[in-house]
Structure 1
Amino acid sequence: MKARLVTGCPSGLGHALARRIPAEGDALVATARRPDILRTLVAQTPDRAVAVADQ
């Protein structure tokens, strides 16, 4: 398993990657300025995702 960092997870390419990476078995470190989006992503795969938000 690899750990992958994705910035800009609320929308666009960053969001698509943040959804795909855990589905493929890798760990996700997701960053965004909107914590609500990150909570949703982490809730879907809590064993493979961690969120970092600027509040």
Structure 2
Amino acid sequence: LSFFAFLVIAKFKPEVSEEIKQQALVDVTALKNTIPEIKSASAGKTFTDRSKGYEYR
């Protein structure tokens, strides 16, 4: 039994709307429905002050 965890962080260009950002989060988490090897997925706005400019995780 193997377990892998991947962390992806993202920073959008300033001109990207909140609607597009939210849709990107929905699309990323929906990958678990099309890729059977993905058992769980979560995405959301970064809440730490150590994010170095990255907005989402």
Give TM-score, length-normalised by structure 1.
0.30
Give TM-score, length-normalised by structure 2.
0.30
Question: Whose strand fraction is larger, Structure 1's or Structure 2's?
Answer: 1
